[in-house]
Amino acid sequence: MTTRNHCLERDAQDPLAPLRAQFDLPAGVIYLDGNSLGARPKAALARAQQVIAQEWGHDLIRSWNTAGWFELPRRLGNLLAPLIGGVDGEVVVTDTTSVNLFKALAAALHMQAAAERRVIVTERANFPTDIYMAQGLTGWLDRGYSLRLIDSPDQLPAAIGADVALVMLTHVNYRTGYQYDMKATSALAHAAGALIVWDLAHSAGAVPVDLSADGADLAVGCTYKYLNGGPGAPAFIWVPKRHQAQFRQPLSGWWGHAAPFAMAPDFQPADGIARALCGTQPIVSLAMVECGLDVHRQTSMAAIRAKSLALTDLFIDLVEARCADHPLGLVTPRDHARRGSQVSFTHPHGYAVMQALIGRGVIGDYREPAIMRFGFTPLYTSYADVWDAVEILRDILDRKDYNVDAKRDAVT
C-alpha cells in the first residue's frame, strides 16, 4: 500500500523537484491543469516588466532592432525545436495553433495539388478547432475536397486510401490522453501517398517528440499548455528543411516576405521558415514564451517523461484503490506508449465533482461528455500533490459533497 510518506520520499529523490521553485503557484492549490494553461514561471514577471518599461517604454521603436523583437519568432523557434525533434531554422513561434494549422493544411494541399487526391483524413474526436479549420479551408477552396472522420485509431489504415491527400492528427488527444504512434502512423500515410500534419498541442513539452525521425511532414502546436508561455501565447509551426521550398501558404503577409522592408508591391516568399510568418506579433506575449522554454532547457524530455509516467501511474493506482466504490471510468490508456501526460476519468456527475475539487484547491477541468481531466506537469507537480488530490477526490465522493445543479461557466 502506498502512503503519503512514500510520496514524500519519492519527492525527496525526484531530480526535477527543484524546478518547482521556478514557478509561482498559489499556496493551497494543487494545479492539475497545465495541459490547458501552464503555470507562470516566476521569471515572466520581471521579463514582462523589462519588455514593457524598458524595451517599449524607453527604447520605443528602436527595440525592433536593439531588443531583437523582429527576430523573436525565429529565435524562440530555434529554442523550441529540440523539444520536438526539429533543428535551427525549422520552427517559428507565431500566431495561434488554429491559424498555423490553416497555413499547414493549405501548404500540404498545395504540395499534393498535382495528384487527384481530395480527401483529408482526421478523427471525429480531434480537438474541434482542428476539424473546423479544415472545414473552413476546404469549404472556401471549393475544389471538391472533403473530410473523412474516423471514430477510432484502428480505423486509420482502412481510411487512408488512394484518394487521400493528407492525414491531420493530434498526437495526444485532448480529452482521453491517447497518444498516437507517430512513426507508424506517418509511415502508414506515406505508404498510401498521403502527407501527414501533426498537432502537438498536448505533446510539446509533455512527451518526447521526434518529428524528423518519425517522418512527419508538417506540425503545429501550442505554447500556453505544457510550455508555460502564458494565456494566449503565440503558437508554433514546424516546416522541415526538406519541405521548405515547396511550402506555400496563403496568408502571405509582409513578415513572410523575402525582404519585408523593401516595401515591394509583389509578394516574394522568404527562403526558409520565415515564409510561415504572416504579420506583426504580440511582442509582450511572445516574449513570455522564452521564460517557459528556459525552464525546459534545464532538464530533458527523457526526465520529464519518466516522471510524467510515474505521476500518471500513481494517480491511476491511487484513484482505483481509494475511490473503488465510486462510478469512475478510466478513459486514458494504461499502456505507457499510448499515454500522454494527463489522466481522464468519467463520472456521471463529472462537472459537479470537478467544481467541488476546484473549490477545494484541486484544479483540473471538465470536457464533455462526463470527463474529468487531470494534467500532470512534471516541472511543478509533486508525488505528494498526487496523493493529496486523490484524498480530496475520495472525500468529495464519499460524502457526495458536490452540487449536481452547479451552473456551467463559459469555460469548463
Ligand X SMILES: *Cc1c(COP(=O)(O)O)cnc(C)c1O
Report the binding-site residues for pyridoxal 5'-phosphate: 97-98, 127-130, 170, 199, 202, 224, 254, 280
Percent helix, strand and coil across the chain, each to the nearest 5: 45, 15, 40
Closest residue by Cα to residue 412 from 385, 372, 360: 372
Q: Which stretch binds ligand X (CB under 6 A): 68-76, 154-162, 198-206, 359-367?
A: 198-206
Q: Please tell me whether residue 228 binds ligand X under the rule CB under 6 A.
A: no
174 catalytic residue (yes or no): no
Cα gap 163→297, rounded to integer Å:
42
Q: Which one, of 336, 331, 348, lies nearest residue 125 by Cα?
A: 331
Which of 178, 373, 385, 402 does the annotation list as catalytic? 373
> DSSP states of 328-386 as a string?
-EE-S-SSGGGB-SEEEEE-TTHHHHHHHHHHTTEE-EEETTTEEEEE--TTT--HHHH
380 is catalytic: no
Residue number, 275 or 373, with CB nearest to ligand X: 373
Which range of residues in 8-16, 54-62, 91-99, 371-379 is near ligand X by CB under 6 A?
A: 91-99
- Whether 373 is a known active-site residue: answer yes
What is the DSSP pairing of strand 371-375 with strand 365-367? Answer: antiparallel
- Amino acid at position 4, single letter: R
- Rounded to 5°, the CA angle 26-374-234 comes to 70
At its nearest, how many Å lie between ligand X and the CB of residue 365? 12
For residue 372, the cross-strand partners are 345, 366
DSSP state of 117: -
By CB under 6 A, name the one of 20, 202, 347, 367 that touches ligand X: 202
Q: Does 170 bind ligand X (CB under 6 A)?
A: yes
18 C-beta neighbours (distance < 10 Å), count: 10
**Residues with Cβ within 8 Å of residue 252, at least 6 apart in sequence:** 267, 269, 278
CA distances from 127 to 123, 169, 199, 200, 231 (A): 9, 9, 10, 11, 18
Give the total of residues touching ligand X (CB under 6 A): 13
Instruction: Quote the CA–CA distance of 134 and 109 in Å, as a whole number.
Output: 11
Q: Which is nearer to ligand X, 19 or 196 (CB)?
A: 196
Q: C-beta of 221: minimal distance to ligand X in Å?
A: 8
Residue 227 sits in the site that holds ligand X (CB under 6 A) = no
Q: Does 201 bind ligand X (CB under 6 A)?
A: yes
CA atoms within 13 A on the CB side of 306: 8
199 in contact with ligand X (CB under 6 A): yes
If binding is defined by CB under 6 A, does position 135 make contact with ligand X? no
* List 127, 315, 374, 376, catalytic entry: 127
Give yes or no for residue 365 binding ligand X (CB under 6 A): no
- Dihedral of alpha carbons 339, 345, 351, 352, sign: negative
Nearest to 350 by CA among 334, 381, 327: 327
**Does 224 participate in catalysis according to the annotation?**
yes
Least separation in angstroms between residue 53's CB and ligand X is: 28
222 in contact with ligand X (CB under 6 A): yes
Query: Residue 237, SS3?
Result: strand
Asked if 127 interacts with ligand X (CB under 6 A), we say yes
CB of 381 to ligand X, least distance (A): 19
Question: Helix or strand or coil: residue 236?
Answer: strand
Q: Select 228 or 244, whichever has its Cβ closest to ligand X.
A: 228
- Which among 14, 33, 95, 199 is annotated as catalytic? 199
Active-site option among 10, 40, 47, 225: 225
Nearer Cβ to ligand X (174/366): 174
Q: Catalytic site residue 199?
A: yes
CB nearer to ligand X: give 95 or 385: 95
Q: Please tell me whether residue 207 binds ligand X under the rule CB under 6 A.
A: no
Contact 163, 147 (CB under 8 A): no
Residue 102, interface with ligand X (CB under 6 A)? no
Q: Considering beta carbons, is residue 121 or 328 the nearer one to ligand X? A: 121
Q: Which listed residue (174, 180, 224, 315) is catalytic?
A: 224
- Using CB under 6 A, pick the residue from 17, 42, 48, 98 that binds ligand X: 98
CB of 329 to ligand X, least distance (A): 22
Site for ligand X, rule CB under 6 A: 96-98, 127, 129-130, 170, 174, 199, 201-202, 222, 235
What residues are annotated to the active site? Answer: 127, 199, 224-225, 373
